Amino acid sequence: MDATRSWYDSITEALIQLNGVKSSVENAMFMWYDSNNILIGHLVTHVDDLTYAGSEEWRRIVIQTLQDRFKIRDHYESVFMYLGLNIVQCDGEIIIDQHRSRSE
């Protein structure tokens, strides 16, 4: 089995063990719901990258468990690039663009 498939299988198993629900339309997206069926967190995988959003409690439980189980090298918040997208989180807004920086 190749490394990419092995990673996907491992992370999928971990997310399901953490009560993640796999999306019926996208195998790489997982969602978490509270007891009232309200979405409290979601996570998307792409090869060996993860992007997620969720409540503080959800992040404390799910993301911390993933960080402890897997060797997560980098963690970005607020301003970062993901899959060629510039992402800025500020004051409850998320701004996404594909403009290249002036230094490139």
Q: Is the pLDDT of residue 102 over 50?
A: no
What pLDDT, on a 0 to 100 scale, did the predictor assign at position 16? 96
Cα–Cα distance between 32 and 14 in angstroms, integer? 13
For residue 59, which amino acid is it?
R
pLDDT digits (tens, 9 = 90+) for 19-59: 999 999 999 999 999 999 999 999 998 877 788 888 989 99
What pLDDT, on a 0 to 100 scale, did the predictor assign at position 99? 76
User: pLDDT band for position 1 (50/70/90)?
Assistant: low
**Domain ranges in the chain?**
3-73, 76-104
Strand segments (E) across 25-104? 29-33, 39-46, 49-54, 79-82, 85-90, 93-97
pLDDT digits (tens, 9 = 90+) for 11-20: 999 999 999 9
pLDDT digits (tens, 9 = 90+) for 55-85: 989 999 999 899 888 877 666 667 777 777 7
Domain covering 3-73: architecture: 2-Layer Sandwich (3.30)
Q: List C-alpha distances in Å: 28 to 21, 31, 44, 45.
A: 11, 10, 5, 5
